């Protein structure tokens, strides 16, 4: 293997996240029209940590956006308390309020599985239209 002076080997950037948790509320529609659906929702993923001698639940909340048909199906099928599995990518949003810069990291959904209480898994995947 030839050396490449002055150039370091680096790992390629990867922006990928997978979470599993429960919908904190019914998904909301943020779309400009019925043709261009944007669904927003929050998912709670419970963690645990030890405080003294006891373990306590620690809720972690994630803001997620789903576009197009995935958003439409989620608006129809997803309800507060349903379990969801989301695969997507992270996006940082920045804005300004009264001269103060604000930011947050949210998730853009690529694939969503909704598991209604007492029901089998329903998959909402961007790969569903692949014929093989």
Q: Decide if 86 is inside a domain.
A: yes
Domain span at 65? 17-125
Into how many domains does the chain fold? 1
pTM: 0.74
* 116 within 8 A of 79, measured Cβ to Cβ: yes
Q: Decide if 92 is inside a domain.
A: yes
Residue 106 to residue 104: CA distance in whole angstroms: 6
Q: Are strands 100-115 and 54-67 parallel, antiparallel or unpaired?
A: parallel
Q: Decide if 77 is inside a domain.
A: yes
**47 forms bridges with which residues in the sheet?**
58
pLDDT at 3: 56
Q: Decide if 23 is inside a domain.
A: yes
CATH, residue 92: 2.40.50.140
Q: Decide if 12 is inside a domain.
A: no
| pLDDT tens sequence across 4-63 | 566 677 777 889 999 999 999 999 998 666 678 899 999 999 999 999 999 999 999 999
């Amino acid at each position: 293997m030839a050396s490449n002076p002055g150039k370091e080997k680096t790992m390629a950037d990867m922006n990928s996240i997978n979470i599993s948790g429960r919908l904190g509320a019914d998904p909301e529609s943020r779309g400009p029209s019925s043709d261009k659906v944007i669904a927003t929702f929050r998912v709670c993923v419970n963690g645990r940590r030890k405080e003294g001698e006891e373990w306590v639940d620690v809720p972690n909340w994630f803001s997620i956006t789903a576009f197009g048909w995935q958003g439409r199906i989620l608006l129809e099928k997803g309800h507060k308390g349903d379990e969801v599995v989301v695969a997507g990518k992270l996006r940082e949003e920045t804005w300004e309020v009264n001269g103060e810069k604000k930011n947050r990291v949210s998730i853009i959904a690529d694939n969503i599985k909704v598991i209604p209480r007492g029901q089998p898994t329903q998959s909402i995947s961007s790969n569903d239209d692949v014929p093989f």
